[in-house]
Amino acid sequence: MNQTEIRSDIKKAKTLSDDEAIDVLWGALTNIATLRDERKEQHSVLTLLDSIQEEDIRPILGLGAVETLIYLDPPLETILAGPEKGPGPGSIEKAIGMVRSSRGSDPRKALKSLGEVLATIRDTKAQGFQTPSGPRDSEILSSTRSLLLALCNSALKIIK
């Protein structure tokens, strides 16, 4: 997929539901990563996040969507944790904790951890949230969509 097609997908995502947009935006982010690196999907996306320009990181981490996800009540970890929902027990809790603790001191580390959180949300969404139209899940999906859009726009800058 070339840059024009990726940009078209990102534009298309703006007209879709949160649920559909997450798939399209994750696909766009994956395609951007693939233009730079031919590795496994999640690994290449996380590697791509390491390449996002420094001046774009803090604004992304400052988005309200980040606050929503990391301070959700009850905690996001309660629906994303478990052996069937992520790379390993405790990993989502660690990733969320890293976003919380590192946003000010090590934004790049926080961004990479945020990428892990978004990947886990996307994987959980693919398996099916309990109530995708429920208010809590809608809040998670809406925030995820906003963050993926911001990441796609920032990532496009590095492949020009």
Listed by start position, the domains of the chain span 3-157
Q: What is the mean pLDDT of the chain?
A: 85
144-160 mean pLDDT: 92
pLDDT of residue 42: 54
| Separation of alpha carbons 71 and 77, rounded Å | 10
Q: What are the structure tokens assigned to 85, written together?
A: 């929902």
| Separation of alpha carbons 86 and 50, rounded Å | 21
Model pLDDT for residues 73-96, shown as the tens digit of each residue: 778 887 776 545 444 446 888 999
The region of weakest confidence among 5-9, 104-108, 117-121 is: 117-121
Percent of the chain with pLDDT over 70: 82
